[in-house]
A = this chain, B = another copy of it.
Amino acid sequence: MFYHVKELQYQAKPDRPDPLFAKQLQEVLGGQFGEISVALQYLFQGWSVRGNGKYKDLLMDTGAEELAHIEMLATMIARLLEGAPVGDLEVAAKDPIIGAILGGMNPQHAIVSGLGAMPADSVGNRWTADYIIASGNLLADFRANLNAESQGRLQVVRLYESTTDRGVKDMLSWLIARDTMHQNQWIAAIKELEAKENVVVPSTFPRELEKQEVSYTLFNLSRGNKSASGRWANGPSMDGLGTFNYVENPVPLGQKPALSPAPSYIHDTLPSVLKSDVMPPPNMC
């Protein structure tokens, strides 16, 4: 169950409106690695944990915080949109700044949301749950989380570089710091689980049931062998259970597939037509 307070976790006040930056900032609100994604990802993972210990608590702590970040960004975007112009080209052409805004801002910020933030990314794609991950296996999912925080911090940093507004930069520098923590915390949790389970997910599948002859092999399938000099092609494997090896010239291990004909009620191309390899005369039509 959730309680809301109206104060923001951290301030979200730009020096001045900037509808173009509002559009860009949508990326970290409603994009693939925006705050909606991490909030719902952590909450869904937490709700699915089949146990009630510290991992679940950590997920719920962090999920609740990400909800606060959605709120901060929604507030910031609404403020960046204040006074966004509408108008047509003749007017716009007289003032290059107005022209650039009208050409470059997200038109839905005026037409659809009425100067509010949207659950969408920087090009206007609406947020989709295709972005989130919750598998029931925490080592797998914490890796998803570490990735999300890595991509997310990278995007916030790129946005930080794109503005000179001190108010915006102030809020972004706070979000960047939180992403520093979140990367650190998922690394800590991952290392703990790896220490308990070893590094390959899932750790519970019996090793003898996999084809171990190819469990540590790098196939050189892109001509040129620079990849041969990587750690992944030499020495003990990272799980400590094998030795990396490199196959310079990999060959197929299977046959050419030959599929049986489809039943007639499917109305695929008939085998008789498929088998006919006689070339029609060049003047056929």
Known: A86-B158, A108-B123. 19 other contacts (CB 8 A): A8-B257, A36-B129, A47-B74, A50-B274, A51-B271, A107-B122, A113-B134, A114-B154, A128-B129, A133-B151, A136-B262, A140-B154, A176-B211, A180-B239, A188-B231, A191-B284, A192-B280, A205-B267, A236-B282
From A55, which residue of chain B is reached at the shortest CB distance? B274
Given contact pairs A47-B71, A124-B125, A230-B279, A4 touches B269 in the complex (Cβ within 8 A): no
A134–chain B nearest beta-carbon distance, Å: 6
Residues 1-34 of A contacting B (Cβ, < 8 Å): 1-12, 18, 20-21, 23-24, 27, 30-32
Given contacts A7-B1, A21-B88, contact A257 B51 (CB under 8 A): no
B52 engages A256 (CB within 8 Å): yes
Complex CA–CA separation, A73 to B132 (angstroms): 18
Cβ-closest 3 pairs across A and B: A114-B136, A103-B104, A235-B282
Q: Which of A234-255 contact B (CB under 8 A)?
A: 234-239, 242, 244, 250, 252-255
Candidates B5, B71, B131, B214; contact of A223 at CB < 8 Å: B5
Known contacts being A222-B6, A230-B189, is A238 close to B104, with CB within 8 Å? no
- Which chain B positions have C-beta within 8 A of A255? 7-8, 11
**For A38, what are the chain B residues with a Cβ–Cβ distance below 8 Å?**
none
